Amino acid sequence: MKKVLFLVLITVLLTSAADFAHAFDGDRKGFVLNLGAGFGQGKLKVSGGGDSVSDDGTGVSTVFKIGAGVSEQAVLYYTNRVVWWSVEGISVNTGMSAAGFSYFFQPQAPSFFVTGALGLGAAKVEDFDSESGFGFGIGAGFEFARNWTLELQYLQAKVAEEMGLSLTASN
């Protein structure tokens, strides 16, 4: 738990300084670096033979993006999103590393935007090996001031398949 609080504190401190580095001129076009944190919900689902069992929990969500604004409204980037949660005292991490795209409806804030990503989803349960597989993400958000956004995103990946059972991770 101390690790998660430390990560949240560092993320808040780094994002508060984001205004100074935003493409150096306030434009979305050019180099993009995004750090964020917030509330997240993770879910692991095992299914097979027409039945399924799932477990979910809430925790801290972190996001890292690095890429380029190809125009004032379109941004391409690499992203890594993780939700840090627990089930009955066992820590679980679910997330995705992916190539992402965001489209802003206005060239400057305030603006609504949509986002999508394709990449490698992963699930890690304490004391077990990490599992990973192809996944996707879709979302929408609102940039209410330059460099400050609120975003909702859904991620899902089939991270393992064995003996007729599949394990799906989602956030």
Q: pTM for the whole thing?
A: 0.78
Q: How far apart are CA 91 and CA 140, in angstroms?
A: 28
DSSP per position, 77-107? EEEEEEEEEEETTEEEEEEEEEEEEEEESSS
Give the chain's largest Cα–Cα span: 56
What digits encode the pLDDT tens for the residues 105-144? 999 889 999 999 999 999 888 888 888 899 999 999 999 9
Residues 34, 146: contact at Cβ < 8 Å? no
Which has the higher per-residue pLDDT, 4 or 94?
94
Report residue 18's pLDDT band, with 50, 70 and 90 as the boundaries: very low
Average pLDDT over residues 25-43: 84
Q: Is the pLDDT of residue 16 over 60?
A: no
Average pLDDT over residues 78-89: 90
Q: Is the pLDDT of residue 89 over 80?
A: yes
Report residue 88's pLDDT band, with 50, 70 and 90 as the boundaries: confident
Which has the higher per-residue pLDDT, 150 or 55?
150
Which has the higher per-residue pLDDT, 160 or 99?
99
Kindly report which listed range (8-17, 21-30, 132-141) carries the lowest average pLDDT score. Answer: 8-17
What digits encode the pLDDT tens for the residues 152-162? 999 999 888 88
Q: How far apart are CA 118 and CA 83, in angstroms?
A: 17
